[in-house]
A and B are shown apart, each in its own frame.
Chain A
Amino acid sequence: MEIDIAWRGRPFTGASGERKANKYEVEGVNIRARKP
Chain B
Amino acid sequence: MVDQTGLRDAIKRVYAEVANDPKKGYHFHTGPDYAVERLGYSRGILAELPDSVTGPFAGVGNPLSLGLPARGATVVDIGAGSGMDTFIAAKAVGPSGKVVAVDMTDAMLQRGRQNVALTGLRQIEYREGFAEALPMESGSVDLVISNGVINLAPDKGVVFREAFRVLRGGGRLQIADIVVHKDIPPAGREDIAIWTA
Contacts and interface: CB of A to CB of B under 8 A. Distances in A.
A32 B174 contact: yes
30 contacts: A6-B65, A6-B66, A7-B40, A7-B61, A7-B62, A7-B176, A11-B29, A12-B29, A15-B29, A17-B26, A17-B28, A20-B27, A20-B197, A24-B180, A24-B184, A26-B179, A27-B178, A28-B61, A29-B177, A31-B173, A31-B176, A32-B67, A32-B172, A32-B175, A34-B171, A34-B172, A35-B168, A35-B171, A36-B169, A36-B170
B29 A25 contact: no
B177 A35 contact: no
Interface in B20-69: 25-29, 38-40, 59-63, 65-67
Which one of B25, B164, B167, B180 has the highest number of Cβ atoms from chain A below 10 Å of its Cβ? B180
Given A27-B181, A28-B60, 19 more contacts: A7-B40, A7-B61, A7-B176, A9-B38, A11-B29, A11-B61, A15-B26, A17-B28, A24-B181, A28-B176, A28-B177, A30-B175, A32-B173, A32-B174, A33-B172, A34-B171, A35-B167, A35-B172, A35-B173
A23 B59 CA distance: 20
B48 to A, nearest CB: 22
Contact of A30 (B26, B28, B62, B182): B62
A32 B194 CA distance: 27
Task: Say which size band chain A's interface belongs to.
Answer: 20 to 34
Contacts of A7: 40, 61-62, 65, 176
